[in-house]
């Protein structure tokens, strides 16, 4: 998220401002020539001017690889509240993708699925895993040796449940997908251990 703030005083025109490190908090001091002419130290003054403040929120686009086009496309990130996701998603998908739950092993619809296609994000449809990268890990969860493109997923350290694991989320909507472990097959050596309910298998485009 980028925040663009512009300030303008009716008396002196555009002003500069300083962003503080904490998100959402900013302060500004304006060198007011109007007052400086009357003041001996000509220092920065918090102004008694009439201000117009314009705040523009923009979200940077995310490079997402599309299997259908074979290209990286710049996509808008998808940001919804949990309340909004709850209305849109199935109950199990909501609890796993948005609340970081884990489906029990051997219960998901894709752990023993051998159909050809692309596993997409169940929340936003982003291409995540090719069925050609799927392998039988014996764990009871659908497992992949790599995503369709490194940028389509993001990883971060997960210290929940007394373990240190690497969480995998969808780059576009932040959906929790599962975890990745360094015990997969060659050549990547990685095991992307996913929840079926966070995925949607889509037939490959002809």
With CB under 5 A as the contact rule, the residue among 47, 96, 118, 123 that binds Zn ion is: 123
Q: Quick one: tokens of 109?
A: 């619809």
Q: CB under 5 A: which stretch of 5-13, 111-119, 134-142, 167-175 binds Zn ion?
A: 167-175
Residues in the chain: 206
With CB under 5 A as the contact rule, the residue among 64, 89, 169, 170 that binds Zn ion is: 170
Establish if 126 lies at the interface with Zn ion (CB under 5 A): yes
Establish if 180 lies at the interface with Zn ion (CB under 5 A): no
Q: CB under 5 A: which stretch of 52-60, 65-73, 168-176, 193-201 binds Zn ion?
A: 168-176
Q: Where are the beta strands (DSSP E) in the chain?
A: 2-9, 13-15, 18-19, 26-27, 51-58, 62-66, 71-75, 118-121, 127-130, 134-135, 143-144, 153-158, 165-170, 176-181, 191-194, 199-202
Q: Quick one: tokens of 79?
A: 């940001």
Establish if 7 lies at the interface with Zn ion (CB under 5 A): no
User: CB–CB of 198/101 below 8 Å?
Assistant: no
Establish if 64 lies at the interface with Zn ion (CB under 5 A): no
Establish if 173 lies at the interface with Zn ion (CB under 5 A): yes
Closer by beta carbon to Zn ion, 47 or else 170: 170
Least distance (Å) from Zn ion to the CB of residue 136?
Answer: 25
Q: CB under 5 A: which stretch of 14-22, 65-73, 134-142, 166-174 binds Zn ion?
A: 166-174
- Report the interface residues with Zn ion, using CB under 5 A: 121, 123-124, 126, 170, 172-173, 175
């Amino acid at each position: 998220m980028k925040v663009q703030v512009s300030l303008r005083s009716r008396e002196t025109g555009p002003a500069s401002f300083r962003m503080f490190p904490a998100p959402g908090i900013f302060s500004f001091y304006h060198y007011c020539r109007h007052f400086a002419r009357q003041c001996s130290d000509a220092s920065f003054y918090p102004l008694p001017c009439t201000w117009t403040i314009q705040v523009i929120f923009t979200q940077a686009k995310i490079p997402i690889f599309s299997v259908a086009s074979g290209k990286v496309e710049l996509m808008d990130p998808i940001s919804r509240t949990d309340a909004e996701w709850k209305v849109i998603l199935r109950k199990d998908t909501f609890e796993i993708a948005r609340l970081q739950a884990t489906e029990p092993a051997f219960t998901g619809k894709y752990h023993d699925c051998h159909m050809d296609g692309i596993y997409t994000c169940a929340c936003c449809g982003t291409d995540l895993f090719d069925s050609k990268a799927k392998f039988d890990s014996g764990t009871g969860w659908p497992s992949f040796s790599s995503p369709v493109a490194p940028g389509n997923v993001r990883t971060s350290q997960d210290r929940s449940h007394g373990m240190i694991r690497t969480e995998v989320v969808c780059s576009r909507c932040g959906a929790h997908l599962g975890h990745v472990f360094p015990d997969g097959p060659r050549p990547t050596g990685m095991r992307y251990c996913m929840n079926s309910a966070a995925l949607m298998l889509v037939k490959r485009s002809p």
